[in-house]
Amino acid sequence: MPYDSLRDWISALDRAGELKRIRAEVDPILEITEITDRVSKSTSTASGEGARATKSRPGGPALLFENVKGYRTPVLINQFGSARRMCMALGVESLDDVAERIRGFMDVKSPQGFLDKVKMLPMLAEMGKFFPRTVASGPCKEVVRRDRFSLLDMPVLKCWPKDAGRFITLPCVITRDPLSGKRNVGMYRMQVYDERTAGMHWQRQKVGAEHYREMLRRAAGGDQATADGRWAAVDSMARTSGGARLASGSQPKGKMEVAVAIGTEPALTFSAIVPAPPEVEEFIIAGFLRQKPVELVKCETVDLEVPATAEYILEGYVNLDELRTEGPFGDHTGFYSLEDEYPVFHVTCITHRKDPIYATTIVGKPPMEDAWMGKAVERIFLPMMKLTIPELVDINLPVEGIFHNLMIVSIRKSYPGQARKVMNAIWSLGQAMFTKVIVVVDEDVNVQDLREVALKALNHIDPERDIQFTLGPVDSLDHASRLPDYGSKIGIDATRKWASEGFARPWPDEIVMDGTTKMIVDKKWKELGIE
């Protein structure tokens, strides 16, 4: 059953024994981070309604801090911080259940005749119920503040000692494509500068940044070269003048409207991080995941629609001629991402529920809450990857690899050089283009077992023959790359080598005990008294 709001979700966590209420006073400056970091790297004991057996689970419980120093607003964190809670958030027993639903839709064949079209009607009707619908009003409008509002009224965390300030870390940032009119919901951290401005950390490859660039093109009369020149000029001026606007007559005029939802129901929050194609609205993805449409309401001061049941809505705009220094920020790599220049979000109105709840997260050295969210993305979007790369069997993005640093792939090998074809196909897929290291193994290797992967991959490679390097876009958070957003990547072909690949020697068999002996020892095991 879908959750209609963050509050429904919190109640479900409470009933399932997955929520810990903290009544002691805690400070949003560093203290909540330290507590949550310890919890997210521990195990929790399941109990209460819905937990038949008491057992430990990695990730610790979700935390609701009810007594935040200097604030009356409670803070929810670590809501997605375990495999069980990720499944609960999406209303499934296993993440593979979502993948199966996706696979079912992708298996639909083009109708060949009238009967086939009739058979498709129920599925088309089901798809229709995923689309968002606009309602007259909603709980997010219980309090409307067009003046006398402040971002500092929210208990925004300062996460790590060297952070540049407080950061909003779990926002659903809503923009509209100037060309198609389609909405996008992305998740980009926001450094709070003062009561009414914040940094908008959309990296250059993100959809929000592309909407911003398109607005620059429009300001340039559609001329690409002029728009690119203006972007470079804005960027250069910001870097040399500490974030001031351009003073020249060539500056791009105009504003881009933005809305930010904080404290949304879990399917929508998760949808904001999925690597969906730009033409597919995240509101539709959320509807698919929750099997119920997302309800939207119109903003007060900008022409955008926002989730009706969100705890907070921030309305505002970014200027096309303004960048400002943002960062450093303790990031999911386990290192601080360095300061850089990003657009500035100006708040024009804040609406919120009565007695709102502030939802947030922290990132840092794994494992943390984002690890479980990333694993969900991995499992759910495997069927989509198989559309483009049909020989894929399974993938693993190890948490310690920070997702974009390492991808282990098993394939059904059919022809020489196929592993290299797969590497290049992965580097062509959306956010997968940032993958720094790809290891390709045969289909009989369990990519989820890192010990097996290490044993077989390291045994199977001849480094000079089986490793290839390539240059291309890398994640903006990659502090080791030679240039910002541009660097090298490596692919490792750890499959068995064939004669058609120039390998003339015999390939040895793997050591495996025969089945009969294993059965005999299984029967004798108890009487051996070893355990």
> What pLDDT is attached to residue 438?
97
pLDDT at 123 over 60: no
- The residues that bridge with 307 in the sheet, in sequence order, are 296
Q: How many CA atoms lie within 13 A of 486 on its CB side?
A: 1
Mean pLDDT of 176-203: 94
> What pLDDT is attached to residue 102?
75
**More reliable by pLDDT, 222 or 102:** 102
Instruction: Report yes or no: 295 and 308 within 8 Å, Cβ to Cβ.
Output: yes
Instruction: Report yes or no: 496 and 442 within 8 Å, Cβ to Cβ.
Output: yes
Q: Kindly list the distances between the CA atom of residue 252 and the CA atoms of 58, 93, 231, 319, in Å, as whole numbers in the listed order.
A: 50, 51, 9, 9
Pairing of strands 43-45, 56-58: antiparallel
> What pLDDT is attached to residue 383?
86
**R_g (Cα) of the chain, nearest Å:** 25
- Residues near 164 by Cβ (< 8 Å), separated by ≥ 6? 191, 325, 326, 327, 328, 329, 339
Distance CA 407, CA 409 (A): 6
pLDDT digits (tens, 9 = 90+) for 335-357: 999 999 999 999 999 999 999 99
**More reliable by pLDDT, 113 or 320:** 320
pLDDT band (50, 70, 90) for residue 51: very low
> What pLDDT is attached to residue 111?
55
CB atoms within 10 A of CB 362: 24
Tokens of 524: 């004798």
Instruction: Report yes or no: 392 and 409 within 8 Å, Cβ to Cβ.
Output: yes
pLDDT band (50, 70, 90) for residue 99: confident
Assigned CATH topology for domain 135-359: Pnp Oxidase; Chain A (2.30.110)
Mean pLDDT (the chain) is 87
**Which CATH superfamily groups domain 369-501?**
UbiD C-terminal domain-like (3.40.1670.10)
Instruction: Report yes or no: 78 and 63 within 8 Å, Cβ to Cβ.
Output: yes
- The residues that bridge with 329 in the sheet, in sequence order, are 337
CB atoms within 10 A of CB 86: 24
Looking at 24-38, 87-101, 461-475, which range is the least confident one? Answer: 87-101
Closest CA to 416 of 341, 300, 499, 507: 499
pLDDT digits (tens, 9 = 90+) for 201-243: 988 778 888 899 888 888 877 555 555 555 554 444 334 334 4
Locate tokens 């051996």: which residue? 528
Burial class (CB in 10 A: 0-12, 13-18, 19+), 528: exposed
pLDDT digits (tens, 9 = 90+) for 270-285: 999 988 777 789 999 9
Distance CA 373, CA 371 (A): 5
The C-alpha torsion from 519 through 520 and 523 to 526, rounded to 10°, is -120
Helix, strand, or coil here: 223?
Answer: coil
Domain residue ranges in the chain: 6-96, 135-359, 369-501
> What pLDDT is attached to residue 238?
39
Looking at 66-75, 97-106, 128-137, 264-273, which range is the least confident one? Answer: 97-106
- The residues that bridge with 340 in the sheet, in sequence order, are 326
The C-alpha torsion from 349 through 308 and 369 to 477, rounded to 10°, is -50
> What pLDDT is attached to residue 477?
83
Mean pLDDT of 423-435: 91
Query: Percentage of the chain surpassing pLDDT 90?
Result: 67
pLDDT at 83 over 60: yes
Mean pLDDT of 499-517: 93
Distance CA 39, CA 36 (A): 5
Mean pLDDT of 155-179: 96
pLDDT digits (tens, 9 = 90+) for 359-401: 999 999 999 999 999 999 998 888 888 988 999 999 999 988 8
> What pLDDT is attached to residue 226?
54
pLDDT band (50, 70, 90) for residue 1: low
> What pLDDT is attached to residue 252?
53
Reply yes or no on whether 331 is catalytic: yes
pLDDT band (50, 70, 90) for residue 59: confident
pLDDT band (50, 70, 90) for residue 244: very low
Mean pLDDT of 92-103: 83
pLDDT band (50, 70, 90) for residue 54: very low
CB atoms within 10 A of CB 518: 10
Query: Percentage of the chain surpassing pLDDT 70?
Result: 86
Instruction: Report yes or no: 460 and 495 within 8 Å, Cβ to Cβ.
Output: yes
pLDDT at 173 over 60: yes
Instruction: Report yes or no: 140 and 308 within 8 Å, Cβ to Cβ.
Output: yes
> What pLDDT is attached to residue 485?
86
Peptide bond into 367 cis (omega under 30): yes
- DSSP type of residue 389: -
Distance CA 273, CA 373 (A): 8
Angle between helix 369-380 and helix 95-106 axes, rounded to 10 deg:
30
CB atoms within 10 A of CB 194: 11
Mean pLDDT of 120-131: 62
pLDDT at 474 over 80: yes
Count the helices and strands in the chain (H runs, E runs): 15, 25
- Residues near 225 by Cβ (< 8 Å), separated by ≥ 6? none
pLDDT at 511 over 50: yes
> What pLDDT is attached to residue 48?
44
Closest CA to 227 of 279, 178, 187: 178
> What pLDDT is attached to residue 237?
39
pLDDT band (50, 70, 90) for residue 95: confident
pLDDT at 247 over 50: no
Mean pLDDT of 144-170: 97
Instruction: Report yes or no: 296 and 259 within 8 Å, Cβ to Cβ.
Output: no
pLDDT at 49 over 50: no
User: Of residues 37, 163, 331, 340, which has the active-site annotation?
Assistant: 331
Mean pLDDT of 488-495: 96
